[in-house]
């Protein structure tokens, strides 16, 4: 089972990848939205902001997200690490319910280029 520190490192790695993206992927990453990632098996939530093509984690909170944010992710720590490492296909994981992504329809269309 992935630890909280490993999950934070995975989010930082994802942020670095987004920051270095080019073309359509860069345009998709260039949102300014509040974001949370609930790690279900650890019952911890990383909350922050997607801005400037990066994810800035501002808080690590116990339990599920406390506030409604614009982009919400939920998954196990192992799935987060596997997604970021390219070992788990996002579309298949989302389709099977292993990963939950909630966002406005417009944001979903933009985010699909990232994922």
pLDDT in tens, the chain (115 residues): 999 999 999 999 998 888 777 776 667 667 899 999 999 999 999 999 999 888 999 999 999 998 899 999 999 999 999 999 999 998 899 999 999 999 999 988 887 766 6
DSSP-based three-state secondary structure for 103? strand
Q: DSSP state, 20?
A: T
CA distances to 16, 65, 99 from 81, in Å: 14, 20, 12
CA distance 37 to 54: 14
What does DSSP say about strands 33-39 and 100-103: parallel, antiparallel, or unpaired?
unpaired
């Amino acid at each position: 089972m992935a630890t909280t520190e490993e999950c934070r490192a995975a989010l930082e790695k994802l942020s670095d990848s987004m920051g270095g993206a080019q073309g359509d992927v860069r345009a998709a990453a260039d949102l300014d939205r509040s974001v949370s990632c609930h790690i279900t098996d650890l019952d911890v939530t990383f909350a922050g902001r997607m801005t400037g093509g990066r994810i800035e984690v501002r808080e690590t909170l116990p339990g599920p997200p406390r506030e409604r944010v614009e982009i919400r992710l939920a998954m196990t720590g192992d799935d987060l690490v596997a997604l970021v490492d390219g070992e788990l296909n996002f579309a298949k994981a989302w389709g099977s319910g292993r990963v939950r992504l909630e966002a406005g329809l417009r944001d979903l269309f933009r985010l699909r280029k990232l994922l």
